[in-house]
Every structure is written in structure tokens, then in C-alpha cells.
Amino acid sequence: MKLLLISLIVSLFIYNRTVDYYKVIPRHNVLAALISGLWTFVSFKYSPWFTIVGLVVINVIDKFT
């Protein structure tokens, strides 16, 4: 239950944020928020390495856009 709550909070934060940390993650985008929440869920449930891999992927995409 805690994991789902954390994932939901992350999704809401990504959706409602006012600062663009990464331009590849659009603000006020439901799909981006859901993917971020799913990424958080997988990272916390299975392996924290998913967090690092996800950040690397976002940075690589950000460099090429």
C-alpha cells in the first residue's frame, strides 16, 4: 500500500511541477506522469538499479533533443 501511495505522489508531482528538470518529460502530461509512477513502483519493488538506469536514459534522450 505504501509503495502505491509513493508512486501516486511521484506521478502527481511530475504532472504538476512548475520547473522543467528534464525537457523530455513534458509538464501536465498524464502519460509522462503515469510512466514516472510506474518507474517509481518498479524501482522500489524490484531493484533500485532501475532508478539509475531510468535517469541515464532520460539524460541521454535529453542530450539528443
DSSP for 40-58, written as a single string:
HHHHHHT-THHHHHHHHHH
pLDDT digits (tens, 9 = 90+) for 1-32: 999 999 999 999 999 988 877 778 888 999 99
Query: Mean pLDDT over all residues of the chain?
Result: 89
Cα angle 1, 45, 19 (rounded to 5 degrees) comes to 85
Cα separation of 43 and 48, whole Å? 5
Q: Residue 61: its pLDDT value, please?
A: 85
Its pTM surpasses 0.85:
no
Residue 49 corresponds to which cell in the numbers above? 538499479
Q: Residue 42: its pLDDT value, please?
A: 94
24 contacts 62 by C-beta, under 8 angstroms = yes
Identify the residue with better confidence: 9 or 55: 9
